[in-house]
């Protein structure tokens, strides 16, 4: 296909058109990123008047710091739980909705709503539900003998943020799974039914394998989401506590830098995260297109 080329008579005009986007990218992404890389190699005096080059010191300290290693552990746990729960439930919902004939539109609409909720709001919502004195879920848990208190109990706090983060992401995963399932030709499942496969077997041996490109894509997207976009949820609920229990990497960048005022270490942490996201993006571009196993 031949792409249409617009030729501008004025040489400057095209640059003006792209300038807003370029400026935003430069000011809010490129510049802070270079600043972060730069300050991760520097130490500033308490008043910020002078800086001194310290090489890899921050990075070395980081990986010797038990708090940072704890944060990595917490993040891994959080990421696995949120990705597994949100993708698992989304797959279940998509499978259920794709079996419906008439009311599928209705359920799809309802299931997509949480996606429109900002992370902070999602966090607050679940914080209210799980609030130890007024929350309905905390109240119900009392019947099972669980004294719920996310402010004191680290496990409870972790469950709270996992629930909020997974809940919000289900919508997105659901939409992709549903679209993926609808693009599996009907005759394949019919052929499998004739070949003696029951509904579960059909799903696991035909539909799910054919969904693998979608699943892989969503996996990358979800990891990205858990690592970065969940900041708002934590900021609105646990603030990384109690006792570091929910201090995942992205929140630790913020708390060490802006609350603890350890700019050097915070910068080093954000550079580590940056490398991580670059690696993810690379994997995504490199393999998502090719991970089609048929």
Partner 1 sequence: MASITLTSVKKTYHGNVTAIHGLDLSIEDGEFVVLVGPSGCGKSTLLRMIAGLETITTGEVRIGNTVVNRLEPAERDIAMVFQNYALYPHMSVRGNLEYGLKNRGTPRPEIDRRVLEAARILEIEPFLDRKPRQLSGGQRQRVAMGRAIVRQPKAFLFDEPLSNLDAKLRGQMRVEIRRLQRTLGTTSVYVTHDQLEAMTLADKLVVMNAGVIEQIGRPLDIYADPQSLFVAAFMGSPGMNLVDIERLRGLVADLPASIPSGTGTIGIRPEDIALDEPATPHFTISATLEAVELVGSESLIYANAQGLSEDVVLRSQGIHRGNPGDPLTLHIRHEVLHSFLRETGRKAAA
Q: 10: which DSSP letter?
A: S
Cβ nearer to partner 1, comparing 65 with 195: 195
CB atoms within 10 A of CB 147: 11
Cα(206)–Cα(292) distance, rounded to whole angstroms? 14
The residues in 71-130 that bind partner 1, with binding defined as CB under 8 A, are none
Q: How far is the CB of 175 from partner 1 (least distance, A)?
A: 23
294 scored as a contact of partner 1 (CB under 8 A): yes
Q: Which is nearer to partner 1, 73 or 185 (CB)?
A: 185
From 122-130, 175-183, 189-197, 214-222, give the range in contact with partner 1 by CB under 8 A: 189-197
Residue from 67, 76, 195, 261 touching partner 1 (CB under 8 A): that is: 195
Cα 176 to Cα 86: distance, rounded to the nearest angstrom: 12
| Residue 181 makes contact with partner 1 by CB under 8 A | no
CB of 217 to partner 1, least distance (A): 17
Rounded Cα distance, 55 and 195, in Å: 65
User: Rounded CA gap, 37 and 26, in Å?
Assistant: 15
* Distances, alpha carbon 95 to alpha carbons 87, 175, 193, 202, 294, in Å: 12, 11, 16, 11, 21
Tell me how many residues contact partner 1 (CB under 8 A).
19
Q: Which residues pair with 53 in a beta bridge?
A: 42
Q: Give the whole-angstrom CA distance, residue 243 versus residue 172.
A: 32
Stretch that binds partner 1, among 135-143, 162-170, 202-210, 254-262 (CB under 8 A): 202-210
- What is the smallest separation between the CB atom of 292 and partner 1, expressed in angstroms? 9
The binding site for partner 1 (CB under 8 A) comprises 185, 187-188, 190-198, 201, 205-206, 209-210, 293-294
């Amino acid at each position: 296909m031949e792409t249409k080329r617009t030729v501008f008579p004025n040489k400057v005009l095209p640059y003006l058109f792209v300038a807003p986007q370029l400026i935003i990218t430069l000011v809010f992404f490129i510049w802070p990123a270079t600043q972060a890389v730069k300050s991760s190699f520097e130490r500033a005096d308490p008043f910020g008047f002078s800086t001194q080059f310290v090489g890899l010191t921050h990075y070395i300290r980081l990986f010797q710091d038990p708090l940072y290693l704890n944060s990595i552990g917490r993040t891994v746990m959080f990421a696995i739980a949120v990705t597994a729960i949100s993708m698992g439930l989304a797959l279940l919902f998509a499978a259920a909705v794709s079996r419906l004939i008439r009311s599928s539109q209705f359920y799809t609409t309802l299931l997509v709503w949480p996606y429109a909720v900002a992370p902070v709001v999602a966090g607050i919502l679940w914080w209210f539900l799980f609030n130890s004195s007024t929350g309905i879920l905390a109240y119900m848990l009392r019947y099972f003998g669980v004294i719920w208190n996310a402010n004191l109990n680290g496990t409870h706090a972790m469950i709270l943020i996992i629930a909020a983060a997974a809940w919000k992401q289900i919508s997105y995963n659901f939409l992709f799974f549903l679209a993926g399932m609808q693009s599996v030709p009907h005759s394949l499942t019919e052929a499998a039914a004739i070949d003696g496969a029951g509904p579960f077997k059909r799903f696991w041996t035909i539909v799910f394998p054919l969904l693998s490109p979608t699943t892989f894509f969503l996996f990358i997207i979800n990891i990205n989401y858990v690592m970065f976009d969940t900041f708002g949820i934590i900021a609105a609920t646990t603030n990384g506590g109690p006792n570091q229990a929910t201090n995942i990497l992205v929140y630790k960048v913020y708390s060490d830098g802006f609350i603890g005022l350890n700019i050097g270490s915070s910068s080093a942490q954000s550079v580590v995260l940056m490398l991580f996201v670059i690696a993810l993006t690379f994997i995504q571009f490199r393999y998502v297109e090719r991970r089609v196993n048929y």
